[in-house]
Structure 1
Amino acid sequence: MPSQTEIQLTQEQLADFPVYYEGDYKPLVGLLIRWGASKHEAEDVAQEAMLAAFMSWPTIQSPKAFVRKAAYRILLRSWQVAERETCAASRVAQDAMVDAFDANEDLPKYWRMMRALPDAQRVVFALHHDGYGSSEISEITGQRRDTVRSNVRHARQKLVRMMDPESTRREATHGP
């Protein structure tokens, strides 16, 4: 008995898939666009979902349901990756702005900004700035790692807003 990766498609099964593909590709792309994907993104996701269907074709009971479930998962994964990349780029820009601030140059302003942070954020941010990782900070402060990361993110955002008040106005006017 062949393994799942070695399943051979019969001529009839091979003939069925292109018919299904031709009939469902455009409706799938339209659905993905209604879900919020760009046209290009929808086409890529639809292709990937159809490939997954082709690879599992002999075992699929309901091709339409299978392809939509696969497409949904692929689309969410692509959005999560894009969100992580956007957040990482934003963090790099924010870190550069925070690093460019010379606390020795304007010590009163530095202490004013640090005191403006809630205690938990101030402690976590100082440790983060000193090079400690989330796990180490978690161990030191007794906070969960997710809480540590959240506190660092919120502290960074608040410090950036204090250093560049215009950034708040730009954020408020950006978006739908």
Structure 2
Amino acid sequence: MTPQVSVMSGSLGDIFWDLPPWMTYTPGFDLGCSIYVANPTGVEKEYALMARLSRESTLISEEALPVFGYAWFKVSPADFVRLRGALRFSESDADLSVLLVERETEEVTDSAATRLVAPQGTSALPPTWPGAPGTTETGFNWNSLLSMMFPVMMLGVVAVAARPQKDKVESKAVVEPQKLLSEGRNR
């Protein structure tokens, strides 16, 4: 049972995050993210966050996400808060939803969701690492090395081009006499 999600739908509060609509997730690893909670109203509101993991219509788990050790947290009127943290699950191939609950009504006012897809293969490493067991890539990939090095090489070219050129006529340096500091108070 996945809640209906629409962009900026909560009239009592909005939630959004930096996770993509779907991602590869290996169970047991931390899933770091930044969650933003906005209060579009003219009064201070209290909110709670709930994490819900479901597969099709089956609820796998549901738990409260504490913020600074508390179930409820406040957001000033017409303001937002950025919450950084990590989530960890023992399941994959499921839908992850973080629900924003408003305290007065105790109803879900908005939600953010992503699909967690299990990695292909049996590697313990994150699946996006080149050369990991179970990937089809063999040997050394020169294209990936060149694509990583190209921006660095271009930065070097720009730095050399931006360096001021020396004129053929050398200018004479002017030497200023040194000024001595006055002696301070003796104590």
Same fold per TM (> 0.5)? no
TM-score by length of 1: 0.23
TM-score by length of 2: 0.22
Is the radius of gyration larger for structure 1 or structure 2?
Answer: 2
Tell me which protein shows more strand as a share of its residues. Answer: 2
Tell me which protein shows more helix as a share of its residues. Answer: 1
